[in-house]
Amino acid sequence: MANSSVTLSVKEPITHVIFDMDGLLLDTEKFYTEVQEKILARYNKTFDWSLKAKMMGKKAIEAAQVFVHETGISDSLSAEDFLVEREDMLRHMFPTSELMPGASRLIGHLHAKGIPICVATGSHKRHFQLKTQRHGELFSLMHHIVLGDDPEVKKGKPSPDIFLAAARRFEGEPVDPKKILVFEDAPSGVLAAKNAGMNVVMVPDPRLDRSHHETADQVLSSLLEFDPGYWGLPSFEKGEN
């Protein structure tokens, strides 16, 4: 993590914000973990956080390839068959998705202050619809949403593709990446934001190895801890929630 004593005088004030979705705005990473634990148990193997760290944030097929190869089950289960099997369980779980603490307050605040905000998620369209079906009002505050199966997203995170596509879709002149703040929970997402030349606040699951924190500009244990003023964004009003 960068030295927190760095002051605003050497940092461009943030004008635009990009949010990751799974594990950052929505508490959906637990569904992937549960399903992957179940599948691996069949092969007498356990799913751990070092494997989770390599999969999270990625496009479905990219994560699936990591899963079958890293666990050594690729001769018995192809990445494509893993996705079919996983899908059957996930589609029942996703509609129950809940917001992460502080997500609603932060999105509402930035929107009310006129800060352009958007989502950049590795999730594809069908999963996005299932996960957000109870949260339409909140997601409607986003200027735009870039999904993992968007034609402009050639490669998933840690490629910068998705964040560069998200930046291009804001109104007006091209936005300097140094003025964009990305919120991420996944190591691949943090790297993608840095590869795009952007600032990144990481809100990692506490079970993730701390070595993954080092690339982020700031690490928080919850969105509730975020101080907009530190980044040159409008501060929360007293009592705002």
Ligand X SMILES: O=P(O)(O)OC[C@H](O)CO
Tokens of 21: 């979705």
CB of 32 to ligand X, least distance (A): 6
Q: For the chain, what's the residue count?
A: 241
Nearest to ligand X of 11, 134 (CB atom): 134
In the region spanning residues 182 to 211, those forming contacts with ligand X, defined by CB under 6 A, are 186, 189
Nearest to Mg ion of 57, 177 (CB atom): 57
CB of 20 to ligand X, least distance (A): 5
Query: Collapsing DSSP states into helix, strand and coil, what is residue 17?
Result: strand
Binding string, residues 72-111; x marks residues near ligand X by CB under 6 A: ----------------------------------------
17 close to 198: Cβ distance less than 8 angstroms: no
Q: Which stretch binds ligand X (CB under 6 A): 21-29, 70-78, 196-204, 225-233?
A: 21-29
159 close to 195: Cβ distance less than 8 angstroms: yes
Residue 17 makes contact with ligand X by CB under 6 A? no
d(CA 100, CA 116): 21
Instruction: Return the DSSP state at 211.
Output: G
In the region spanning residues 19 to 48, those forming contacts with Mg ion, defined by CB under 5 A, are 20, 22-24
Residue 22 makes contact with ligand X by CB under 6 A? yes
Q: Which stretch binds Mg ion (CB under 5 A): 47-55, 124-132, 157-165, 186-194?
A: 186-194
d(CA 196, CA 152): 14
Residue 62 makes contact with ligand X by CB under 6 A? no
Nearest to ligand X of 16, 127 (CB atom): 127
3-state secondary structure 48-97: CHHHHHHHCCCCHHHHHHHHHHHCCCCCCCCHHHHHHHHHHHHHHHHHHC
| Residues designated as active site | 20, 22
Nearest to ligand X of 208, 241 (CB atom): 208
Nearest to Mg ion of 77, 208 (CB atom): 208
Among 207, 201, 238, smallest CA distance to 220 is for 201
184 close to 201: Cβ distance less than 8 angstroms: yes
116 close to 16: Cβ distance less than 8 angstroms: yes
d(CA 200, CA 167): 14
Which of Mg ion, ligand X, none binds 121 (CB below 5-8 Å, type-dependent)?
ligand X
CB of 71 to ligand X, least distance (A): 17
Note the residues at the interface with Mg ion (CB under 5 A).
20, 22-24, 57, 185-186
Note the residues at the interface with ligand X (CB under 6 A).
20-23, 32, 56-57, 121-123, 186, 189
